[in-house]
Copies of this chain bind each other. A is one copy, B any other.
Amino acid sequence: MGETTETGLPRALAIAWGVQDVPQRGPSRGLTHERIVAAAIEIADADGLGAVTMQAVAKSLDFTTMSLYRYVSSKDELLRLMQDAAVTVPEKVELPDDWRDALRAWADLIRDAYRAHPWALELPRGQAAVLMPRTVRTADLGLAAMAGLDLSDGEKIAAILLISQHVASMVELERSLEAEGEVVATPEGVEMLRRAITPDRFPHLAEVMAAGGYIADAPARPDDPEGVDGEYAFGLDVLIAGLESLERRRRE
């Protein structure tokens, strides 16, 4: 095994929090978790998560593949560490006073982080991920942003989850459009889809498409307010308006 420590925690958690006991007896270590993770991230940034193999990481550090296993008990563990390292938020952050503006600023921070390391979106965001240091810090910052919002703790946590998932989705969509956007937008391709999505089978959507929606004919320009940026902003608007209305309802 090796995936979990005696504490029952995924070992990645112990490593990330720095509570993994360091061996005392042997020769001094030639590597550190930090260097390994940094090397892996560099590869992922350059060539995608698929290029991150134990061999590639090791070679970039001038070590043998197997040497990495002295530090990381599996590739999965390495990926978890990478995930945590990817969601870094600046050290010092000044959040606006109004919780609405603060939440927007907070969302933008996360978006920047994901944009910087888009491969992080391919990794499952589960409970273990939520307990990693940077994620915890990000959550803390989110709570700070909502200081002026009159909701319960549990609701604030849920709101954080909600918003961060929204940001993640939008960056992922953004990425996917970037990658395959031009491909799908081939005139023949769009034509085929228009033939397939007929009003009798998809009455509502077909209407939208007839009005030019849903399928992007042209690769969305970055400044297009109707593009992913628009959906990002729209989602934030809806979420914040929803929280506002919930708070108002709560007050009565």
Q: B208–A153 contact, CB under 8 A?
A: yes
A188 within 8 A of B: yes
Quickly give the copy total for this chain: 2
Query: What band does the interface of chain A fall in when counting residues whose beta carbon is under 8 Å from B?
Result: 35 or more
Bound CA span A143–B181, Å = 24
Q: B14–A128 contact, CB under 8 A?
A: no
Contacts of A157 in B (CB 8 A): 208, 213-214
Encoded as 1 (CB less than 8 Å from any B CB) or 0, chain A from 62 to 75 comes to: 00000000000000
Contacts of A172 in B (CB 8 A): 124-126
Contacts of A231 in B (CB 8 A): 158, 161
Q: In whole Å, how far is A112's beta carbon from the nearest beta carbon of chain B?
A: 20
A8/B136 contact (C-beta < 8 A), A165-B166, A208-B153, A215-B131 known: no
Q: List 12 A-B contacts (CB under 8 A).
A: A4-B183, A9-B184, A9-B186, A9-B189, A124-B172, A126-B176, A128-B184, A131-B184, A136-B202, A153-B211, A161-B169, A242-B245
Besides A125-B172, A144-B203, 20 other CB < 8 A contacts? A7-B192, A8-B186, A8-B188, A9-B184, A9-B193, A14-B192, A124-B176, A127-B177, A140-B206, A143-B205, A153-B208, A157-B208, A157-B214, A158-B234, A162-B166, A162-B234, A162-B235, A166-B166, A238-B239, A242-B243
